[in-house]
Structure 1
Amino acid sequence: MWHGEYRHPRLVEVYDAECPWGWDDDFFMAVLAEHSAPRVLDLGCGTGRLAIAMAEAGHAVTGLDPSGPALDAARRKPGAARVHWIDGPISELGNRTFDAVFLTGHVAQFFVSDQEWSSLLHAVRRALDLDGRLVFDSRDPAAAEWERWNPDESWRSVMLADGTTVEAWTEVESVRGDVVSLAHHYRFSDGEKLTSQGTLRFRTEEELRASLRAAGFHVDQVYGGWGREPVGLSGDGELIVIATALS
């Protein structure tokens, strides 16, 4: 199945267990606090961990995701009532609706074609008020993280909320330039096996900057790690972008 971690109820549970609060969440909350941003969109919010925290910090938060099972899990979490949840496309959000848009968890890489990515950026630009900020993360292709996506290095045992465990591992199916197709495998304690597939685009810093300029953004910062290290000087292998919407 395609991106099953957000679409299949059992895999949504695994995703939540594997993705607790981390350094990336601390970073995004710190960035949010740096400027006034009463209205926030968590675009591709998944199961809502960050959206709920932003709402608890006093922001009016909208969590948007096209995956119903992920949003169902988000709505069940404590504090979820503070967030306005939307199952649908960003085109439904109107113009100048938000002061900040966050696109986290490497969701930016799901937009594989140049047209998909450009359309998303233009939609975000329309949804942001003047001087509003777009904040997102994407893996740095120079780190070649996909080289470690093999059964030996990626195998792990995941404990779920009910105490049962799931064996999980990842393998790459193809690498075509900067496009990587992969499969995540899951084996549950009751014997069920599920596979989730996906394709990711690894854009360089220069490509990200150029695409943002073309969509009407000014790039304020690009960091290479969650400690705000320069690109290429941390072990995180990230491209963390903060951009401002221009008039």
Structure 2
Amino acid sequence: MTPRTSTENLLTDNPALYEARFPDPERLAGRWAEDCLRRYGSGPRVLDLGCGTGRDAAHLHGAGRTVTGADLSEAMLAYARVQHAGPEYLHADLRRFTLPGREFDAVVCLDSALLYCHTNGELDGFLASVRRSLAPGGLLVAEMRNGAFFLGRTELLDAPRVNGFTWQGVAYESTTTLSVDRTAQLLRRTRVWTADDGSEPVEQRSAWRLLFPQELRHVLAGHGFEVLALHDGPGPRTEPAWREGDAPGSVADADRTHLVARLN
């Protein structure tokens, strides 16, 4: 059966399904972010940009921080307010946003959310918005895919990846294909969803910006940030995954990039 192409996103439109597909029972992402905030001396006020279901924002809140979560998906925000209460949750587009009357000691942007800035203009909009939102000396903490990994490597591109899981009695299977659009400097993703509940297959498309370490340093400096750490791991999505007490790495060669930058 030819899949139906959808402009909707099965996971972001169904937050409980998202958490079933990407479980994080150990709260590795939130714990890693909290470790960075403590390691580099952040104050208590945190903005979690692209907060999604609110799991990480809620963990930071539980660690004693005053947290605001922001996301473009109203479905995610509604879910977060009920399932991961504690932080304040606001609607915002990370590519350009204004939060009047609010100032933060740190902005956290996890799980490649920053890479939805597909163009230089969108990236500049993100960094200008972050700069406006931060107190002097505030931190930007981000975790994302590493564009440099795809220089000469094809193991993530060579074949589709199939993942299956069951949620509320329905078996779901996703087949994901990645490709590099060199002209646009994007990693494009095509994902076909099937389920055993009789629904027709659905094809969804998305993309991430491929940013390279030196490019990232350059654009951050242009917006007044000093890079304190830029490395490929350990982190919440690396193998092996980050554990308490792990020190930041010193190279940026593998699939993930972990960034800490301070506003001058």
2:132 equivalent in structure 1: 126
2:250 equivalent in structure 1: 230
Structure 2 residue 76 is the aligned partner of structure 1 residue 70:
yes
SS in 1 for 2:72: coil
% identity of equivalent residues: 27
2-structure distance, mates of 1:88, 1:108: 13
> 1:76-225 maps to which residues of 2 (within 5 A)?
76-77=82-83, 80-89=84-93, 91-94=97-100, 97-144=103-150, 147-149=155-157, 152-160=159-167, 162-172=168-178, 175-177=181-183, 178-192=185-199, 193-225=201-233
Preserved contact between residue 106 and residue 134 of structure 2 (Cα < 8 Å): yes
Q: Classify 1:174/1:244 alpha carbon distance in 2 versus 1 (closer, same or farther; 3 Å).
A: closer
Structure 2 residue 260 is the aligned partner of structure 1 residue 242:
yes
Aligned residues: 238
Q: Deviations over 1:169-216 (max 9, x none)?
A: 211366234212221221122132333211211110011001101111
Stretches (4+) displaced over 4 A: none
C-alpha displacement of 1:149: 4.8
Which stretch of the first structure deviates more once superposed, 44-53 or 141-150? 141-150
Q: Deviations over 1:109-149 (max 9, x none)?
A: 11010010011101101100001100112212232277525
The amino acid that maps onto 2:216 is L
Q: Deviations over 1:75-113 (max 9, x none)?
A: 221xx3311000134633137610000010111111010
The amino acid that maps onto 2:20 is A
2:23 equivalent in structure 1: 20
C-alpha displacement of 1:2: 4.7
Q: Classify 1:146/1:128 alpha carbon distance in 2 versus 1 (closer, same or farther; 3 Å).
A: farther
SS in 2 for 1:45: coil
2-structure distance, mates of 1:205, 1:107: 17
1-structure distance, mates of 2:252, 2:129: 30
Q: Classify 1:146/1:86 alpha carbon distance in 2 versus 1 (closer, same or farther; 3 Å).
A: farther
2:238 equivalent in structure 1: none
Preserved contact between residue 45 and residue 65 of structure 1 (Cα < 8 Å): yes
Preserved contact between residue 149 and residue 170 of structure 1 (Cα < 8 Å): no
Q: Give the helix-richer structure, 1 or 2.
A: 1
Q: Which runs of 5+ in 2 are unaligned?
A: 1-5, 236-241, 243-247
Preserved contact between residue 2 and residue 198 of structure 1 (Cα < 8 Å): no
2:51 equivalent in structure 1: 45
2-structure distance, mates of 1:54, 1:230: 26
Q: Which runs of 5+ in 1 are unaligned?
A: none
Q: Classify 1:88/1:208 alpha carbon distance in 2 versus 1 (closer, same or farther; 3 Å).
A: same
Preserved contact between residue 11 and residue 17 of structure 2 (Cα < 8 Å): no
SS in 1 for 2:98: helix
Q: TM-score, normalization: structure 1?
A: 0.87
Kindly report the root-mean-square deviation, in angstroms, between the aligned alpha carbons of the 2 structures. Answer: 2.3
Q: TM-score, normalization: structure 2?
A: 0.81
2-structure distance, mates of 1:141, 1:213: 19
